[in-house]
Amino acid sequence: MHSRWTTLIIALLSLFIIVIAVGQMFFAGGEKLTTETALVYSMEEEVPFEGVYMRDETLIYSSGNGVISYEHADGSKVGKSSVIARRYKNESEIEYRREIEELTKHIEVLESAEKLIGTDNSQLEVITSQINEQHSKLISAILDGDYSGAKELQSGMLEALCKREITLQESDGYSEKISELESRIAQLETRLSGDVTSVLADGTGYFVSNVDGYEGEIFLSDTESMTAERIESIINNPDKSRGSAIGKLISGYTWRVAAVIDKENLFGINEGSSVTLRVGSAGMLIDAKVVSVTDTDDGRAVYIFECDRLTSEVVEGRTARFKLVINSYGGLRVSRDAIRYDENNERGVYIVRGTSLAFKKINVIYWGEDYVICSQEGGDDYLKLYDRIVTEGKDLYDGKVVE
């Protein structure tokens, strides 16, 4: 009997607890709410297209047998009679000369550090600062995937470390190491044939090693001849024979790109308009100007954009993929499920403030499929950054106790 009463009491107490919990959930204003944080968000409306580069270019020729080694990176400015490239007998000679250059730089670093022999440690703080700076730059370059940049930073790092050794008297010099490097250089020099031909620039300009065969056919001023048919033909066949040309010089930093685009996609963009282009896979943004718009018979038009920023990304190849930024939006991101209207039919959201709800107005500047972007407005009656927005809940009203 005692056991049955105990079981009954426990069951009644359990039922009471469940009723209290359900009551708190549905009647005490503490029901479960789904929320999100108001954060800054930006997006761009873009029109993708493929375009053809228009540049004033002069080809650089070099005939003969052997292997070409370029002295300048693409996009580098060179002067008249500058050495553009050298032609070597074979690949091995190029590797030997590169190793000689690296060893020579290494010797220069060690000799620079040795100049501190016999000095006090007054420069130790400056040297330590240089080590920390070089180390940070080296790590950043590696994390960014810029391995060529990381390699260039090695010399600076090595020099600073060697100077620190000399200053702390942890080394009395590097004469033995220098002799070893000089011996290696002498060994490599005996393997060089001396059969080297230098290729010089005929004028000034920006050097590009890539040649596509359209040099001398497409110029900066060829606005009228860039028809839709010609543009599409070049896009379908962007590379032609390069012959004996090993590179080219672009006469100036101004370039143009011609493209065929549906007019309705660029509504309101006319000749003289300023636009922003996103270039290539890197997504680099470049300011441009529309210099020509020529209608076609099929609802499209030939657009020619002009830019004055020359980089290695925009000198590679004859064609490239672009995106024209139509609109750019920035503000607070809000899920569309969170949008509510108050008794005055004003659009807004409910946020959790302390233990109650508060209605905050929003000014929508962009409507996405499942979210909106709202401008950041002044005044306490508008949504603010980091507010906790209610996206899901029942019977929501201003001042409702939720926690």
**pLDDT for res 1:** 46
Using the structure block, give the residue that is written with the tokens 């250089």: 185
pLDDT higher than 60, residue 5:
no
**For range 32-54, the mean pLDDT:** 90
CATH class of 48-62+214-327: mainly beta
Give CA–CA dist 56/219, Å, rounded: 5
**For range 387-398, the mean pLDDT:** 91
CB-based burial label for 166 (10 Å; 0-12, 13-18, 19+): buried
Spatial strand order of the sheet with 197-200 comes to: 67-70, 83-88, 197-200
| Number of residues assigned to the chain | 403
Q: What CATH number is given for 34-42+330-392 in this structure?
A: 2.40.420.20
Report the share of the chain in percent with pLDDT over 70. 91
Give tens-digit pLDDT for 358-369. Answer: 999 999 999 988
Higher pLDDT: 5 or 73? It is 73
Give tens-digit pLDDT for 293-349. Answer: 999 988 899 999 999 988 877 888 899 999 999 888 899 999 999 999 998 899 999
* Residues 6+ away with beta carbon under 8 Å from 67: 87, 88, 89, 90, 91, 93, 94
Measured CA distances, 136 to 149, 157, 181, 212 (Å): 13, 10, 28, 40
pLDDT higher than 90, residue 170:
no
113 backbone dihedrals φ, ψ, rounded to 5°: -65, -35
Tokens linked to 315: 């000198």
